[in-house]
């Protein structure tokens, strides 16, 4: 008679491994849970402070003015067809055709700006609603709030 020398894992051994993996995941996952939101905020800040702002500055250098609110950010990828026309348009000033923030909402653009002079450029943040303290903008909200409070006195 032949003896079976093949040996597999018992149910108890498999359960022990699953418990160990579960405990390790319970300790590690909470450390990285907030990192996704931080990464999205950093990406939105980079878009506003660098990518979109630089493209808007190039547009202004070529055309003498920033796109109007009506022309919006699409004026950075296609010459505006509504007045004022950009006679020296040398774009596209950006490769991306979509102007959405990391949460899937469109970046907001106003020119002339009500907060920062030439233009206001901002993301409404994770909640998708303007205001509320989670917006990411090209102006300092604490300074704007302080100036508004000072000017109303």
Q: What does the domain layout of the chain look like in residue ranges? A: 36-152
CA angle, corner 104, sides to 31 and 52, nearest 5? 100
For residue 152, is pLDDT > 50?
Answer: no
Using one digit for the tens of pLDDT, what is the confidence trace for 50-85? 999 999 999 999 999 999 999 999 999 999 999 999
Helices (H) and strands (E) in the chain, counts: 4, 3
Question: Which pTM does this prediction carry?
Answer: 0.71
Binning pLDDT at 50, 70 and 90, where does residue 100 land?
A: very high
36-152 CATH pick, 3.30.700.10, 2.60.40.2130, 3.40.50.300, 1.20.1050.40: 3.30.700.10
**Peptide bond connecting 46 to the previous residue in cis, omega within 30 degrees of 0:** no
Q: In angstroms, rounded to a whole number, what is the distance separating the alpha carbons of residues 75 and 150?
A: 36
């Amino acid at each position: 008679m032949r003896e079976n020398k093949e040996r597999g894992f018992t149910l108890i051994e498999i359960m022990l491994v699953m418990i160990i993996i579960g405990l390790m995941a319970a300790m590690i996952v909470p450390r990285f849970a907030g990192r996704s939101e931080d990464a999205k905020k950093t990406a939105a800040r980079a878009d506003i402070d660098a990518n979109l702002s630089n493209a808007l500055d190039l547009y202004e250098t070529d055309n003498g003015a920033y796109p109007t609110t009506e022309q919006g950010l699409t004026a950075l990828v296609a010459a505006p067809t509504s007045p004022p026309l950009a006679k020296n348009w040398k774009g596209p000033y950006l490769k991306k055709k979509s102007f959405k923030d990391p949460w899937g909402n469109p970046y907001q653009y106003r020119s002339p700006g009500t907060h920062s002079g030439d233009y206001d450029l901002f993301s409404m943040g994770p909640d998708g609603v303007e205001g509320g303290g989670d917006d990411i903008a090209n102006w300092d909200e604490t300074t704007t709030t302080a100036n508004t409070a000072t000017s109303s006195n």
